Amino acid sequence: MTLDARLDALGRDARRRRAQIVLLIGVPIALVACAWAAKAFGAWAAVAAALIGIAALIALVRRVSRAIDGAWIARRLDASRPQFEDSADLLFRDAASLSPLQQLQRHRLHQRFDTDPFAELKPAWPWRSLGLAWGLALLAIAAIAAWSPRPTRTDAPAAAVANAGATHVEHVELKIEAPDYTHLPQRTESTLETRVAQGARVGWRLRFAPVPASAALDFHDGSRVELSRSGSDWSGERTMSASALYRIVLEGAPPLDDDRLHRLDVIADRAPEVRVVLPEKSLTLLEDGQHEWDLAFEASDDYGVGAANLTITLAQGTGENIAFKEQTLALTGEDIDTDGLHRHLRYRHRLDLTALGIAKGDDVIVRLAVGDNRVPEANTTKSASFILRWPPEESDDSVGMEGIVERTMPAYFRSQRQIIIDTETLIGEQNVLSSEHALARSDGIGVDQKILRLRYGQFLGEEFETRSEPESPAAENDKDGKADARADALTAHAHEHPSQRKPKFGDVGSVMEEYGHVHDVDEAATLIDPETKAILKSALNEMWQSELHLRQGRPTEALPYERKALEYIKQVQQSTRIYLARVGLELPAVDEGRRLSGDRKGVGDRDTALVSADADDAVPAALWRALESPEVPDLDAFDRWVHAHSNRLPDALTLLAASDRVRHEPTCRDCRSGLRNALWPLLTVPATATPLRTAPDAAGRAYLNAIGADAGSHAGAAR
């Protein structure tokens, strides 16, 4: 027999022994499970347990058998025979893939295996574990055989006879019919407590043993439903508009064995939810050439979306002469879900602005109102208003701006970063550019730096500089059009010089502009505080140095000044402030008619600064304290308080149910504890007060006496 055949035989023997051990340990466990199932549930349960046990044993045997492979055999050979020198895995590898040294070792292992062959590698029998498993299984089967389970079903009439001192509810059936608009199916419950939709009709069908003379349902709000008898069944109906507690009341029969309150929770019909998809902003400016406005909405409801109306309002005019035109359009939605119940719809509408008649200065306001199918009155949800506004004309009027809030700096305060980027790009390309081209590009960046410096200077009241020098040829031929952009920026942001305006006779501003010059006055820059103004001046100084080196063709020397200017600009952006107009103190006018009259109506003092607690809020606190004692508290007063404040209580029904349990079982400690826990959130938080100083102990009194004696001696010495 070859070596490979002998190794395979060793593996088969080991797998067979491992499977036998697993079966001998698992079989007694399966027998115990079958015996328990047969005793508790019958023969069919025993058969099912046996099948499950067999399947589990087969799966376990396959798993442990697959674990014995070539690597397992190699480990056992290395562990049991030192002469294999931890190289038994070479016997299971392809000889062609081994190195010369490994092939030599494999040949040596072949020789040693031939001279001293292995008899077996299978594990030894675990006799102790097997004996323990079978012994415990026999004891468990004997105990199961001697066990007598309780009957799983009881006869209702027999139970009623056994408990003849109370009436038992033999059968409960609640028939729930939700409103038609909810599309909910009719259902039946076999319990006295459930959850129903708002407006659902609930029908009770009850059966009692013994049969009473009359039966009714008493609700916590004082209403009552009389049950009618039909044979041995009692039935009644009620439409539920709100959650309620009720109790079964019998006459001509012993009290019910379960006389507690039962709860019916009503699920309120929620209003639709509206989401606006388009427009994305509440205020949209009309673009040039825009003749239509796209609108998109989504609406969802728990039982289905109803009618949707889009209200369009056109506001025309300015000032006090504003006229409104309003129209309403009915929208038809597309069902997003595939259930066909219209619970999630999408609406789209394209508003024709030309047909609407929008003109300069007008506003178009739209709002969507969506209702549901609730009967008799539908829930309606309205979206926020969205405005399409004709852009107003730009105005340079700055009258009355001294009290306006200045929260952000202009957008072009951030262009210093672009100058740095351009300078770094130029420095990197200087080696491949001609001196003339590099000088022209550096001069162009210097012009950009100058324009930015002049823009900042306007906020400090400095004089606006005009460019008298001609543009460089390189700047004129710049492919990116920087010269045109700079010219446009200068035109847009330049203000008219006083010498170019014609003065008007009697105009104070014209006189000041003609005979005085306020551009370089620091106080003229009123929108910037002194600290920010100082930082901005530092930024301008750095820009001066940057421009100087750029215009001379030295971008490397200009870069540090540019970065320093950017740091100052960041500080300016982070130090924006709010500026409000200064106003004087305005006190209310004194009522001369009440002077020296002694009338203190509406006038308080320090003694009456605290408001006394509401007396009604003391009711739950008094009951909470009373529940600590074994005496029966005044629950009627608490029930009246709950009914009076049910609108602001989070869960009034839970409080009434807990109070009713304490009323019917005054000695039940769990019932009293449950009511106290429900009362805890209702207790009024006590007002903050200064804690009293605790009395000092003996050591504290000795310390205080020593301080007093020491103070007295110092006082005597001073005298």
Q: pLDDT-based confidence at 606, cuts 50/70/90?
A: low
Residue 561 pLDDT > 90: yes
Beta-ladder partners of 364: 314, 388
> Is the pLDDT higher at 134 or at 115?
134
Cis peptide upstream of residue 210 (ω within 30 degrees of 0): yes
Q: What is the number of other CB atoms lying within 10 angstroms of the CB of residue 586? A: 6
User: If you average pLDDT over residues 342-347, what whole number do you get?
Assistant: 88
**SS3 assignment, position 39:** helix
Q: List C-alpha distances in Å: 660 to 220, 317, 393, 670.
A: 10, 66, 72, 13
Helix (H) or strand (E) holding 646: none
**SS3 assignment, position 467:** coil
> Is the pLDDT higher at 338 or at 451?
451
Q: Is the pTM of this model over 0.85?
A: no
User: If you average pLDDT over residues 230-255, what whole number do you get?
Assistant: 88
Rounded Cα gap, residues 703 and 709, in angstroms:
10
Q: Which pLDDT score, from 0 to 100, does residue 610 have? A: 56
pLDDT in tens, 669-682: 888 888 888 888 88
Rounded Cα gap, residues 385 and 297, in angstroms:
13
Q: pLDDT-based confidence at 120, cuts 50/70/90?
A: low
Half-sphere exposure for 99 (CA within 13 Å, toward CB): 2
Among 83, 152, 142, which Cα is nearest to 115's?
Answer: 83
Lowest mean pLDDT among 62-66, 175-179, 205-209: 62-66
Among 219, 178, 183, 225, which Cα is nearest to 205's?
Answer: 225
Most confident range (mean pLDDT) of 84-88, 121-125, 382-386, 616-620 is: 382-386
pLDDT in tens, 487-520: 343 333 434 444 444 444 444 444 444 444 444 4
Q: pLDDT-based confidence at 562, cuts 50/70/90?
A: very high
Q: pLDDT-based confidence at 377, cuts 50/70/90?
A: confident
| Structure tokens given for 677 | 């826990």
Helix (H) or strand (E) holding 519: none
Q: What percent of the chain has pLDDT over 90?
A: 6
- How many residues are there in the chain? 719
Residue 256 pLDDT > 60: yes
Amino acid at site 44 = W
Helix (H) or strand (E) holding 177: strand 168-177
Lowest mean pLDDT among 24-38, 110-124, 602-616, 617-631: 602-616
Burial 372-383 (b: 16+ CB within 10 A, else e): bbbeeebbebeb
Q: Which pLDDT score, from 0 to 100, does residue 557 have? A: 92
Q: Which pLDDT score, from 0 to 100, does residue 479 have? A: 37
Q: Which pLDDT score, from 0 to 100, does residue 611 have? A: 55
Helix (H) or strand (E) holding 170: strand 168-177
Q: What is the number of other CB atoms lying within 10 angstroms of the CB of residue 293? A: 21
Maximum alpha-carbon separation in the chain: 132
Among 68, 124, 115, which Cα is nearest to 92's?
Answer: 68
* DSSP at 479: T
Beta-ladder partners of 369: 309, 382
Rounded Cα gap, residues 519 and 498, in angstroms:
10
User: If you average pLDDT over residues 559-586, what whole number do you get?
Assistant: 69
Lowest mean pLDDT among 66-75, 161-170, 391-400: 391-400
DSSP string, 388-407: EEPPPPP----TTGGGS---
Q: Domains (ranges, CATH) in the chain?
A: 3-146 (no CATH), 156-267 (2.60.40.10), 306-389 (no CATH), 404-498+513-574 (no CATH), 618-682 (no CATH)
User: If you average pLDDT over residues 421-449, what whole number do you get?
Assistant: 88
Among 350, 305, 312, 353, which Cα is nearest to 329's?
Answer: 312
Look over the chain and give the mean of its residue pLDDT values, rounded to a whole number. Answer: 75
DSSP string, 55-103: HHHHHHHHHHHHT-SHHHHHHHHHHH-GGGTT-GGGGGS-GGGS-HHHH
* DSSP at 259: -
Contacts of residue 171, Cβ cutoff 8 Å, sequence gap at least 6: 205, 206, 207, 233
Amino acid at site 263 = R
Rounded Cα gap, residues 644 and 495, in angstroms:
71
Residues 383, 296: contact at Cβ < 8 Å?
A: no
* DSSP at 409: -
Half-sphere exposure for 381 (CA within 13 Å, toward CB): 19
> Is the pLDDT higher at 256 or at 579?
256
Contacts of residue 61, Cβ cutoff 8 Å, sequence gap at least 6: 19, 22, 23
Q: pLDDT-based confidence at 270, cuts 50/70/90?
A: confident
Q: Which pLDDT score, from 0 to 100, does residue 498 have? A: 42
Q: pLDDT-based confidence at 129, cuts 50/70/90?
A: confident
Rounded Cα gap, residues 77 and 89, in angstroms:
9
Q: pLDDT-based confidence at 203, cuts 50/70/90?
A: very high
pLDDT in tens, 628-652: 877 777 788 888 888 888 877 888 8
User: If you average pLDDT over residues 684-711, what whole number do you get?
Assistant: 76
Q: Which pLDDT score, from 0 to 100, does residue 65 have? A: 79
Q: pLDDT-based confidence at 104, cuts 50/70/90?
A: confident
Q: Could you give the strand order of the β-sheet that contains 194-197, starting from the edge strand earlier in sequence?
A: 187-189, 168-177, 200-209, 233-240, 224-230, 214-219, 244-251, 262-267, 194-197
Lowest mean pLDDT among 56-70, 318-332, 567-581: 567-581
Q: Which pLDDT score, from 0 to 100, does residue 116 have? A: 63
Q: Which pLDDT score, from 0 to 100, does residue 490 have? A: 37
Residue 560 pLDDT > 90: yes
> Is the pLDDT higher at 102 or at 570?
570
> Is the pLDDT higher at 548 or at 522?
548
Q: Which pLDDT score, from 0 to 100, does residue 113 have? A: 67
